[in-house]
Structure 1
Amino acid sequence: MKLLLLGVVVPGTLHAQQKPTLTLEQAQALAQQSYPVTRQLDLLRKAEQLTLENLNKGFLPQLAINGQATHQSDVTQVPLTLPNTDIPSPPKDQYKITADVNQLLYDGGVIRQQKKVEQLSTAVETQQVEVELHKLRERINQLYLGTILLDQQLEQVELVQQDLEAGMRKVEAQVKNGVSFRSNLYLLQAELLKNKQRRAEVLASRRATLQTLGLFLGQPLSDGVILAVPAETELPENPQIQRAELKLYNDQQTLLEQQHKLLLARNLPKTSLFGQSGYGRPGLNFLENETDWWYLGGVRLNWSLSNFYTYRNDKRLIGVQQQLTEVQRETFLLNTNAQLTQQRSEINKLQELVEADREIVALREKVLTSVRAQLENGVITATDYLREVYALDQARQSLNLHQLQLLQAKINYKTILRS
C-alpha cells in the first residue's frame, strides 16, 4: 500500500516533466503507516496470541518433581512389648523424592473468562491507538493546509510582482519622455525588491513546513511537490458523532463486565485429578524401615472461601470504574458537541467573510485598472499607484486566507465528528 502511495508522490519516468502531487487523503494514509504508534497494533495482536496460548495450557497436565531429606527429633513408636515380636519404629532420618501430576477437570470457568478478559483488553488498547491516530490526523491537516496557504501567498506575490512590473514599464516610458521623475521609478524598483524578499520568506516557510510534513509521512517532500486543494463537501444535516473514543468507552465497559464474570468464576470450586508417585524411606508403610516405591491418586476438590472476604468490595470497585467510564464518555460528548457548535458558527462566519472578500477584490481590481491608466497618463504618482496595488494585494490575501480558513473549518468539523 505504501509503495502505491509513494508512486503518486514521486514522479515516474514517463512523466518526469510533471510535478509530483499529493492529496490530503494520501498524506493521511502515509502518515498513519509511518507513525510509530501504528506498529503497536501488530505487537498487541502478538501479545494477545501468546497470552491466549499460555492460558490454554492451563488444561494440560501439571507435573512437579519434589524431593526432601529430613532428620526428626522423635518418631512414632508403638508402646507395646510382645514376646518374640519386634515392632519396628520409623527411622529418624527420612528422605523421599516424588513426582506429582495434576489434571484440571473444572476450574469454575476461570480460564475461559481470563481469555475473554485478555481479548477485550487488547481491544481496549487497540482503540487507544486509534485515538492517538485521530490526533495525528489533526496534525497532518494543520501542516497540509498550512502549506496550501503558503502556496496561495506565493501566487499573490506573483500577482503583486506583475502589477509592479506593469507600473514600472509605464513609469519608464514617462521618464524617457520627460513627464515623470526618476524617483518614481526608483520607488517602484525598491518595492519590487521588497516583494522578492517577501517571496523568499514565504518559500523558506513553505520548505520548513514541507520538511515537517515529510517527517510525519516517512519520506522527504521536494520543494516542487504540489499539494492538491481538498474539494469542499457539504456538511451533514444531522451529524452523528462517530469517534474512536466512543468505541473505546464501550470496550472499557465491556471489559469491566467481563472482569466481574471472572471475579465470580474465581469464587467457584475447582476439581482435578491428581497422582503422586515416589521413592524414599519409609514408604507408605511407615513401620517398614526400608526404601520403597509408592504411589497414590484420586480426585481433589478445592474451594477457597477466603475470596469471599473481598468479593463485595471487588464488585463495588468494578461498579465505580464503570461509573467513571460513563462520566468520561458523557464529558467527551459534551466537549465534542461544544466543539461542533463552535466550528459550525465559525463556518457560517467565514462564509459571509468570503462573500464580502470576493466583492472587495472585484472592486479593488477595477480601481487598480483605473489607477494604472491614470499612472500612464501622469495623473497620479507612483506612490498613489503603490497604495492601490497593496490595497488589492491585501484584499486578495484576505480572500485567500478566509477561503482556506473556511476549508479548514469544514475539514475540522468532519474530523471532530468522525475518526
Structure 2
Amino acid sequence: MKAKHKLLLLLLVTVQFSFAQTITLQQVQEKAKEQYPLTKQRDLIRKSKELTIENLRKGFLPQLSLSGQATYQSEVTTVKIPFPGVNIEPLSKDQYKLVADVNQMIYDGGLLKQQTAVQHMNAEVEEQKIEVELYKLAERINQVYLSILFIDEQLKQTELVKKDLETGLKKVEAQVNGGVAFKSNINLLKAELLKIDQRMIELQSTRTGLLDVLSLFTGEAYTAATQFEKPVVKTVVNDASVSRPEINLFQKQQQLLGVQNNLIKARNLPKTSFFFQGGYGRPGLNFLENKFATYYVTGVRFNWAFGGLYTAKKERELIGLNQQIIAVQQDVFLLNTNTQLKQQQAEIDKINQLISKDNEIIELRVKVKEAANAQLENGVITANDYLREVNAEDQARQNLLLHQLQLLQAQINYQTIKGK
C-alpha cells in the first residue's frame, strides 16, 4: 500500500509539473505595458487631437451671422432743392436694420494646414512621452523578474545542501548506533537541517512577495508552480547605436518646433473669402426711399493684417533658441548614456572573471567535501568538520549564483540602456 501511495504521489507531482506555467521576460513586459494605467492616456491623446482638428476644419465651413438694430436719430439728411414734379420724402428719424451675413473662406494662407500639422505633432510628442515612461517601467519589471530567478536558483542550491546534510546525518546515525560517535553530532546536523528549512521558508516567502508585485503590474495570477524562463541576452559587439525612446522624443520635439515656425508664416499671410450679406430694414440701400425694403450685397473680401509682422521675427528667434536647447539636451542624454554603457561593459567584464574563479573554487570545494564525506564515514572527522566543508561549498555555489545573476542583470541593463 505504501508503494502505491508513493507511486500515486509521484504521478500527481509529475502531472502538476507538466502543467506548470512557463513565463518569459518578454511576456511579462508586454502584459505590464498593457495593464499600466498610463497606456490608457494614448487613446485620450488621440481623441483630443481628432476633436481639435475637426474643430479647426470647420473654419472652412460657411460662417453665418445675424445682426439687427433699431435706432432713433435727432436729424436726417433732407433734399431741399426743389425739382419740378418730384417730391422727395424725408427719411424717418427712426430706422431699422436686420442683416444676415454669410462668409466663406477661400484662401487662409495655409493656416488650417499648419494648425492641423501642429496638432498632429503635439499628439506624437505626448505619445512619445508615454513611451519614455513605459521604458522606465521595463527597467522595474527586469529587477523583479531577475530577483525571482535568483531566488529560484537559491532554492535549488538549498535543496542540494539539504541532501548533503541528510546524507551526512545517516552516516553519523550509523556511527552512533555502532558506538563510535557521540549523539551530539546527530543533534548538530539536525539543527543545521532546521536552519536550512528556515532558509527555504524565507526564500519562498520572498518569492511569493515578488510574485504579488509582478501580478500587480501584469494583472496575471502567478503561483508557486509558475516557472520563469531565464532570458538569453544576445551581446552585439561594436554596436555604438542607441535607439532609446528619448531620442525619438527629442526628434519629435524638434519637428514640432519646425511646424510652429511654419505656423507663424501662415498666420501673417493674406486671407481671401467670399461673402454674401442680405438685409431688411428702413431705409434699404436706396436712401432716397423712406420705406422698408430687402436688399443684398455680395463679393470677395481681401484681408492682410500686418500686426503679426512686428513679433514674427522674435517668435522665430524663440523657436530657434528652443531648438538649440533640445539639441543640447539630446547631446547630454547621449553622453550620459554612453557613459553608462562603458560602466556596464566594465561590469560585465569583471563579473565574467569572477565567474571563472567561482567555477575553479567550486571544483576544489567539491573535492574537499567528498574527502570529508569519506572521512566522516570512517570516523576520522567529526560532524562539525563535515558541516564546515558542506557550508564552504554551499557558500562557493551561492557566490556563483549571485555572480551569474549579476552578469545577466548587467547584460540586460546594457541592452536596456542601448534601447534594444
Q: What displacement does 1:94 show?
A: 3.3
Asked whether the equivalents of residues 376 and 382 of structure 2 are also in contact (C-alpha less than 8 Å), the reply is yes
The answer as to 2:284 corresponding to 1:283 is yes
Tell me, in whole angstroms, the C-alpha distance in 2 between the residues paired with 1:398 and 1:282: 102
Q: What displacement does 1:52 show?
A: 2.7
The answer as to 2:377 corresponding to 1:382 is no
Structure 1 pair 92/152, CA: closer, same or farther in 2 (3 Å)?
farther
Aligned to 1:121: 122
Q: What letter matches 1:343 in structure 2?
A: Q
Tell me, in whole angstroms, the C-alpha distance in 1 between the residues paired with 2:315 and 2:412: 45
1:295-314 CA-to-partner distances (Å, cap 9, x unmatched) read: 11111111111111211111
Aligned to 1:180: 181
The answer as to 2:420 corresponding to 1:401 is no
The answer as to 2:260 corresponding to 1:265 is no
Asked whether the equivalents of residues 128 and 245 of structure 2 are also in contact (C-alpha less than 8 Å), the reply is yes
Tell me, in whole angstroms, the C-alpha distance in 2 between the residues paired with 1:220 and 1:176: 50
Asked whether the equivalents of residues 75 and 90 of structure 1 are also in contact (C-alpha less than 8 Å), the reply is no
Structure 1 pair 256/99, CA: closer, same or farther in 2 (3 Å)?
same
Other structure's SS at 2:307 match: helix
Tell me, in whole angstroms, the C-alpha distance in 2 between the residues paired with 1:209 and 1:236: 33
1:16-70 CA-to-partner distances (Å, cap 9, x unmatched) read: 8421000111111111222222223333333333333332222221112223334
1:89-125 CA-to-partner distances (Å, cap 9, x unmatched) read: 4444333322111111111111111122222222222
1:290-331 CA-to-partner distances (Å, cap 9, x unmatched) read: 322121111111111111121111111101110111011101
> How many residues end up aligned between the 2 structures?
405
Aligned to 2:29: 28
Aligned to 1:48: 49
Tell me, in whole angstroms, the C-alpha distance in 2 between the residues paired with 1:68 and 1:327: 60
Q: What letter matches 1:239 in structure 2?
A: A
Other structure's SS at 1:306 match: coil
Asked whether the equivalents of residues 66 and 99 of structure 1 are also in contact (C-alpha less than 8 Å), the reply is yes
Written as runs of structure 1 = structure 2, the 5 A alignment for 1:181-330 is: 181-330=182-331
Asked whether the equivalents of residues 243 and 419 of structure 2 are also in contact (C-alpha less than 8 Å), the reply is yes
Asked whether the equivalents of residues 57 and 112 of structure 2 are also in contact (C-alpha less than 8 Å), the reply is yes
1:263-304 CA-to-partner distances (Å, cap 9, x unmatched) read: 001001101011111222332234433322121111111111
Aligned to 1:98: 99
Asked whether the equivalents of residues 235 and 410 of structure 1 are also in contact (C-alpha less than 8 Å), the reply is no
Structure 2 residue ranges without an equivalent (≥5): 1-14
Aligned to 1:141: 142
- CA RMSD in angstroms comes to 2.0
Structure 1 pair 80/200, CA: closer, same or farther in 2 (3 Å)?
same
Q: What displacement does 1:332 show?
A: 0.7
Structure 1 pair 91/176, CA: closer, same or farther in 2 (3 Å)?
farther
The answer as to 2:71 corresponding to 1:77 is no
Written as runs of structure 1 = structure 2, the 5 A alignment for 1:357-368 is: 357-368=358-369
The answer as to 2:419 corresponding to 1:418 is yes
Asked whether the equivalents of residues 64 and 101 of structure 1 are also in contact (C-alpha less than 8 Å), the reply is yes
Q: What displacement does 1:218 show?
A: 1.8
Structure 1 pair 293/352, CA: closer, same or farther in 2 (3 Å)?
same
Q: What letter matches 2:256 in structure 1?
A: L
Tell me, in whole angstroms, the C-alpha distance in 1 between the residues paired with 2:383 and 2:417: 50
Other structure's SS at 1:305 match: coil
Q: What displacement does 1:192 show?
A: 0.8
Tell me, in whole angstroms, the C-alpha distance in 2 between the residues paired with 1:90 and 1:183: 130
Asked whether the equivalents of residues 79 and 90 of structure 2 are also in contact (C-alpha less than 8 Å), the reply is no
Structure 1 residue ranges without an equivalent (≥5): 1-13
Asked whether the equivalents of residues 156 and 397 of structure 1 are also in contact (C-alpha less than 8 Å), the reply is yes
Other structure's SS at 1:223 match: coil
Q: What letter matches 2:146 in structure 1?
A: L
| More moved, 343-352 vs 35-44 | 35-44
Tell me the TM-score normalised to structure 1 length.
Answer: 0.91
Asked whether the equivalents of residues 97 and 282 of structure 2 are also in contact (C-alpha less than 8 Å), the reply is yes
Tell me, in whole angstroms, the C-alpha distance in 1 between the residues paired with 2:395 and 2:62: 81
1:161-219 CA-to-partner distances (Å, cap 9, x unmatched) read: 11211121111111111211111111111111111111111101101101111111122
Q: What letter matches 1:30 in structure 2?
A: K
Q: What letter matches 1:365 in structure 2?
A: V
Structure 1 pair 232/301, CA: closer, same or farther in 2 (3 Å)?
closer
Structure 1 pair 374/297, CA: closer, same or farther in 2 (3 Å)?
same
Tell me, in whole angstroms, the C-alpha distance in 2 between the residues paired with 1:109 and 1:96: 36
Q: What letter matches 1:285 in structure 2?
A: N
Q: What displacement does 1:248 show?
A: 1.3
Aligned to 2:371: 370
| More moved, 109-118 vs 351-360 | 109-118
Other structure's SS at 1:66 match: strand
Q: What displacement does 1:81 show?
A: 6.2
Tell me the TM-score normalised to structure 2 length.
Answer: 0.91
Q: What displacement does 1:77 show?
A: 2.7
Tell me, in whole angstroms, the C-alpha distance in 2 between the residues paired with 1:112 and 1:244: 28
Q: What letter matches 1:189 in structure 2?
A: K
1:216-259 CA-to-partner distances (Å, cap 9, x unmatched) read: 11222112100001124233322311111111111111111111
Percentage identity across paired residues of the two chains: 51
Tell me, in whole angstroms, the C-alpha distance in 1 between the residues paired with 2:90 and 2:387: 122
Other structure's SS at 2:221 match: coil
The answer as to 2:353 corresponding to 1:352 is yes
Asked whether the equivalents of residues 79 and 88 of structure 2 are also in contact (C-alpha less than 8 Å), the reply is no
